[in-house]
Amino acid sequence: MKKHLFAVAALAAAVTQPAFAADDIKVGIILGFTGPIESLTPDMAASAELAFKEASDSGLLLGGAKIMPIRKDSTCVDSAAASANAENLVTAENVAAIFGADCSGVTGAVANNVAVPNGVVLISPSATSPGLSALEDKGYFFRTAPSDARQGEVLAEVLKRRGITEVAVTYTNNDYGKGLATSFDAAFKKSGGKVTISAAHEDGKADYSAEVGALAATGSKHLAVFGYLDQGGKGIIQASIDAGAFENFVLADGMIGESLTKAVGADLNGAVGTVAGGKTDGAIAYAAMAEKAGIKKDGPYVGESYDGAALIALAMQAAGSADRAKIQANMMKVANAPGVKIGPGELAKGLKILADGGDVDYVGATNVEFNPVGEVLGSFKELEVKGGKFETVMVH
């Protein structure tokens, strides 16, 4: 037990924090700065902080207040550590709201164990498990990433259009992997496709040859990998290539990122996949902002991260307060119509309208519109690896 508490404390202190002024509004950022998606989270955090800085620098937020983000590690996989770090944000740091978490399992744990019981808004940019739609969250949990109930359907559509009618599936053995595999399986079969095997894999293994052998024994030419690009998913792909078992890969959002293409190299060319995102005016405007700020403009869930943070700032302004319950009461109001549409880079405009008693409809980088349970329908980019890079070929 003491060893576990020491590990949690080490994770909590992993990121150096800035000094705070007495009137700063603290907001938590809890993402997997270590773990299976650690190559993605720095840009996600930077994107959220870009929105917080934009709101703070405007001088219009609650009469000139500034948001000071506090980073904590979700680990992506350790629910106990994620909950402990979130608890620290809520009780010790007294944050007004929390941006995060990232992976579905730890997000559910933070929501159920910390955010909802303490009445703190939690908004995730990347937790996609369909099971999160049924959280008894009392209206405190939101997500700017669309559910995998939709991603499974989109991925099935992509494969059908490409003439792929049979596929083997491997998924990471957690809420995210299971939810996506179930959604894809149902949609692919409905479209006339055949899933020859759907098998879980564990992260953190040094050797995936046994898993690859079982997948290849089905005779499928295509392997769908619903895992993590810095962990087991990468291991499965590399073992498949090394054994000559598969040459054609289908990837979901957890596998999309530069670290995978750099690690695997040219053998990944031709792989297809999906990730949340689109090519709206807001997405284009955000990409320019991100590039200027040194953020990977096409990185997974960076637009969703900016939007999640922007909504927290706007909800504060609509509430006229950084009170936790008042922020929650205004999240839907600033995200949905009616109101003046607000895009990336327009937070000052939105803050001014709200200060003057008007209404805003934040559409942001990802065309935000919340359904009754606080999540978005969203859109997905169809990607293909060409010349060692992920390229968008279509938006669904």
Query: Strands 389-395 and 380-386: what pairing?
Result: antiparallel
Using CA atoms, how far residue 249 sits from 77, 173, 203, 270, 385, in Å, is 24, 19, 19, 8, 10
pLDDT in tens, 259-272: 999 999 999 999 99
User: The whole model's pTM is what?
Assistant: 0.90
The rounded distance, in Å, linking the Cα atoms of 67 and 29 is 12
Looking at per-residue pLDDT, the higher value among 298 and 216 belongs to 216
Give start-end residues of each CATH 3.40.50.2300 domain in the chain. 23-146+281-362, 148-278+379-395
Q: What is the pLDDT of residues 149-188, one digit of tens each?
A: 999 999 999 999 999 999 999 999 999 999 999 999 999 9
φ and ψ of 262, to 5 deg: -70, -40
Amino acid 44 reads: M
**Which pLDDT band holds residue 81 (cuts at 50, 70, 90)?**
very high
Do 300 and 40 touch, CB atoms closer than 8 A? yes
Report the distance separating Cα 12 and Cα 88, nearest Å.
8
Token pair 């939709």: residue? 150
CB 102 within 8 A of CB 148: no
For residue 125, is the peptide bond before it cis, meaning its omega torsion is within 30 degrees of 0?
Answer: no
pLDDT for 15 beyond 70: no
Strands 380-386 and 272-276: antiparallel
Give the model's pLDDT for residue 21. Answer: 52
In CATH terms, the fold of domain 23-146+281-362 is: Rossmann fold (3.40.50)
Residue 17, pLDDT > 80, answer no
- What pLDDT shows up at residue 315? 98
Which CATH homologous superfamily contains domain 148-278+379-395? Response regulator (3.40.50.2300)
Residue 298: pLDDT band by 50, 70, 90 thresholds? Answer: confident
Q: To the nearest whole number, what is the mean pLDDT of the chain?
A: 94
Single out the residue of 319, 349, 377, 310 nearest to residue 146, CA to CA: 377
Q: Taking a C-beta distance cutoff of 8 angstroms, is the pair 126, 303 a contact?
A: no
Band the pLDDT of 300: cuts 50, 70, 90. very high
